[in-house]
Amino acid sequence: MLSKPFSLVGKLILITGAGTGIGRGVALQLARQGADVVLSYRGSSQGAREAVEQIQSMGRRAVAIQADLKNILDCRRVVDEAVQFLGGLDGLINNAGMTLTKDFLRVTEEDYNDIYNLNIRSQFFTCQQAVPYIITRGKEFETLFPDRKWMGGSIVNISSVHGNTGFSGHSVYAGTKGAINAFSRELAIELCPKHIRVNVLAPGSIEVPSYFSDPNYNREAGNRLVPWGRIGLPEDVGYLAAYLMSDAAEFMTGQILYLDGGLTAKMAIDWQPPEGAREMEMKK
């Protein structure tokens, strides 16, 4: 039995797309649970630097690395530099991604390539670069702590409810999220013998700074979108990500976890039973 199964003390984790929004929230929560982290970002340097300062104030090690993960060389570089800073790697959270809302008939080749290159290709090649380091970390653990069992490495690929449900204007974006789901299930099976688990965290409506670029958006409007009655927040994703990185999740792999306040559980048809229907059923 593990004495502190949810603790991340001693864990070394890379989070991509962590300069803002979900990735930033995840990085902060992992650090609160004790992890040392590397945050990669593409354009949000200020957010990444501020997050690093917050994490360092917690007494954890952190650094931000700029990278354009549409470029495979950058996928490999950011993993290598993260390991160099941390001294090893226990886990990877692939959060970097972009969305596109555009009518199917208007999608260009450039649109398609941009979204697929970042959303799924970057996850594939960061995983490929990270796995040997995680294997090495496991071997080192067994040498350093011969009386303790290595509970395995962890990869979490961030997907979306759009990988499971249809929504107008998301033909390209949803395709990448479905690909992430399928790729991650396959990778989970391949990595079981290596003792590295792979899971997908698929958020629903999570309020991030880009939401407020819509002049019609506010928190009250966001709350109405979700059956649970409130919009999701980056820290919600952080809580689940922290669990998946922890030794408590050692038996979980190959799973797609929807964190959506009931969105995917709700049928889209707006229908109410006829008046008296419930009473009639009760009399049967």
The full DSSP string for 141-204 is HHHH-TTS----EEEEEE--GGGTS--TT-HHHHHHHHHHHHHHHHHHHHHGGGTEEEEEEEE-
Rounded CA separation 86/58 (Å):
16
What are the strands, taking DSSP E only, across the chain?
12-15, 36-41, 62-66, 91-94, 153-158, 196-203, 256-259
**Token reading at 201:** 């965290």
Q: Which residues are catalytic, by number?
A: 159-160, 173, 177
The answer to whether residues 197 and 250 touch, using CB atoms and an 8 Å cutoff, is yes
Q: Which of 39, 68, 42, 33 is nearest to 53 (CA)?
A: 39
Q: Which of 198, 120, 108 is nearest to 160 (CA)?
A: 120
Helix pair angle (72-86, 122-144), 10° resolution: 20
Residues β-bridged to residue 232: 206
The answer to whether residues 43 and 16 touch, using CB atoms and an 8 Å cutoff, is no
The answer to whether residues 174 and 162 touch, using CB atoms and an 8 Å cutoff, is yes
Instruction: Supply φ then ψ for residue 40, to 5 degrees.
Output: -100, 150
